[in-house]
C-alpha cells in the first residue's frame, strides 16, 4: 500500500450552511446543522486506551461507517435509530438526539477489559458478580451488561446500574428499557455473526432521546465497538488453552501493551511503522469482508476531502428541501 499518509482521512475542517456546532471525537468529526441534524464523518484515526494514535489507518473510517450502516438497517425493527442517509462511504447523516451519558457495554464472554479485571483478582465488574473458575474467553452463562460513563474527554469509567440510577445519570424507567434494547440488539448481532461463521463476543451501544423516544445512536457492531471470534475451532482452542482467533482492534491494544503503553501518564506511544499501519488496515478490511460477507470496495483516495465535503452539501440540500 503506497502513499499511506495521502490515503488517510485524518481530520476535517468544514463550514456548512447553518452549521451550529463542531465536535472532534477520538475517531469521528461531528458537525451539527441547525441544532437538529448531525453529520458524522468516520475518519481514519484510530484510538486505544482512550488515546488517539499518531497515524491514521487507510480505509478504517470507511470500514466502520459501512458496517454500522449495514447493522443499523438490520436492527431498526428492534429500536429506532438516528441514521437518515450515508452520502459517502465515510459519512453518516442523522437525527440529533439528546444522548444518555452512559455506554451500554454487553458481554457474552470473558474477554478484553473484563478478562483483565477478572485476572487481577476482582470478581465484580460494574456491579455484576462473576463466578470463580473462569478462563479468559470463556462463554458466560448469560450475557451481562457492564456500563461505562461516557466521558467527553479522557477515560470512560466503569459504573454499576445502581450507581447510574442513584446519581440520576439515567432514570430507572429509561435504564430498564436501555437494558432490554441492549440485550435484544446483542442477540440479533450474535445471530447475524453466527451465520457468517463468527461469534460476537462483546460490544457497546449508545442511546439518546429523539422527540422523547429512545433512539439508537452512533455506530454498532464495528471493529471499534465490538469483538468477534472465529466460530470454527472456538471450543477446541478454549479446551486446550489456546488464544482465540479474533477480529477486533484488540490486536492493536495487545501490541501497545507489549510495547509498554496502556494510556497511563508518562507512557510513550510506540512508533507505528508503515508495515504495521498497513497490517492494521488489512485486518480492518478482513473484518469487514467476514462480517458483511461482501468484497470491500476501496474508496479512491484522490480528492477524498473534497468528495466528502461535496457529498455532505448535496445530502443536506436534499434533507432540507
Q: How many residues in total does the chain contain?
A: 321
The x, y and z cell numbers of residue 43, run together, are 475518519
pLDDT at 298 over 80: yes
**Mean pLDDT to the nearest integer, 219-223:** 91
Of 60-69, 184-193, 233-242, 292-301, give the lowest mean pLDDT range.
292-301
Q: Does the pLDDT at position 156 exceed 80?
A: no
Residue 245, all three cell numbers: 482467533
Mean pLDDT of 280-298: 92
Going from the C-alpha of 128 to that of each of 42, 121, 143, 159, 179, the distances in angstroms are 33, 14, 11, 10, 14
Residue 4: pLDDT over 70: no
Q: How far apart are CA 130 and CA 114, in angstroms?
A: 10
pLDDT band of residue 6 (cuts 50, 70, 90) is: very low
Q: What are the pLDDT digits (tens) for 59-94?
A: 999 999 999 999 999 999 999 999 999 999 999 999
Q: Is a pLDDT exceeding 80 seen at residue 5?
A: no
* Band of pLDDT at residue 247, cut at 50, 70 and 90: confident
The pLDDT value recorded for residue 1 is 45
Mean pLDDT of 130-148: 97
Considering only CA atoms, which of 301, 297, 285 is closest in space to residue 8? 301
What is the mean pLDDT of the segment spanning 119-144?
96
301 pLDDT above the threshold of 90: no
pLDDT at 319: 84
Identify the structural domains of the chain with CATH numbers, from first to last: 19-97+277-319 (3.30.200.20), 99-247 (3.30.470.20)
What pTM was computed for the model?
0.88
Distance from C-alpha of 59 to C-alpha of 57, rounded to nearest angstrom: 6
Task: Indicate if the pLDDT at residue 2 is higher than 70.
Answer: no
Q: Looking at residue 95, what is its pLDDT?
A: 96
Judging by beta carbons within 10 Å of its beta carbon (0-12, 13-18, 19+), is residue 131 exposed, middle or buried?
exposed
Residue 152 banded pLDDT, cuts 50, 70, 90: low
CA 203 – CA 68 distance, rounded (Å): 12
% of the chain at pLDDT higher than 70? 96
Residue 154 clears pLDDT 90, i.e. is over it: no
156: left (phi over 0), alpha (psi -120 to 50) or beta: beta
Amino acid at each position: 500500500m503506497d502513499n499511506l499518509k495521502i490515503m488517510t482521512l485524518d481530520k476535517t475542517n468544514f463550514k456548512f450552511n447553518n452549521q451550529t456546532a463542531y465536535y472532534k471525537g477520538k475517531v469521528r468529526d461531528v458537525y451539527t446543522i441547525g441544532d437538529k441534524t448531525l453529520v458524522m464523518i468516520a475518519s481514519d484515526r484510530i484510538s486505544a486506551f482512550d488515546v488517539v494514535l499518531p497515524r491514521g489507518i487507510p480505509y478504517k473510517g470507511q470500514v466502520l461507517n459501512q458496517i454500522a450502516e449495514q447493522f443499523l438497517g438490520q436492527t431498526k425493527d428492534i429500536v429506532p435509530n438516528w441514521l437518515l442517509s450515508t452520502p459517502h462511504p465515510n459519512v453518516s447523516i442523522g437525527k440529533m438526539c439528546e444522548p444518555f451519558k452512559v455506554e451500554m457495554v454487553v458481554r457474552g464472554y470473558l474477554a478484553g477489559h473484563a478478562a483483565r479485571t477478572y485476572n487481577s483478582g476482582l470478581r465484580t465488574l460494574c456491579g455484576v458478580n462473576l463466578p470463580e473458575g473462569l478462563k479468559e474467553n470463556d462463554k458466560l452463562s448469560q450475557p451481562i451488561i457492564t456500563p461505562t460513563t461516557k466521558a467527553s474527554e479522557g477515560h470512560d469509567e466503569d459504573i454499576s446500574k445502581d450507581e447510574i440510577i442513584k446519581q440520576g445519570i439515567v432514570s430507572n424507567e429509561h435504564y430498564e428499557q436501555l437494558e432490554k434494547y441492549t440485550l435484544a440488539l446483542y442477540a440479533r448481532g450474535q445471530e447475524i455473526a453466527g451465520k457468517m461463521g463468527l461469534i460476537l463476543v462483546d460490544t457497546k451501544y449508545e442511546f439518546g432521546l429523539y422527540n422523547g423516544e429512545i433512539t439508537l445512536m452512533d455506530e454498532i457492531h464495528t471493529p471499534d465497538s465490538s469483538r468477534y471470534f472465529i466460530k470454527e475451532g472456538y471450543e477446541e482452542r478454549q479446551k486446550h488453552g489456546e488464544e482465540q482467533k479474533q477480529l477486533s482492534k484488540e490486536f492493536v491494544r495487545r501490541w501497545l501493551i507489549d510495547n509498554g503503553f496502556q494510556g497511563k501518564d508518562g507512557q510513550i506511544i510506540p512508533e507505528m511503522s508503515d508495515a504495521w499501519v498497513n497490517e492494521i488496515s488489512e485486518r480492518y478490511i478482513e473484518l469487514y469482508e467476514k462480517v458483511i460477507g461482501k468484497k470491500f470496495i476501496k474508496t479512491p483516495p484522490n480528492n477524498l476531502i473534497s468528495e466528502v465535503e461535496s457529498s455532505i452539501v448535496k445530502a443536506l440540500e436534499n434533507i432540507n428541501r
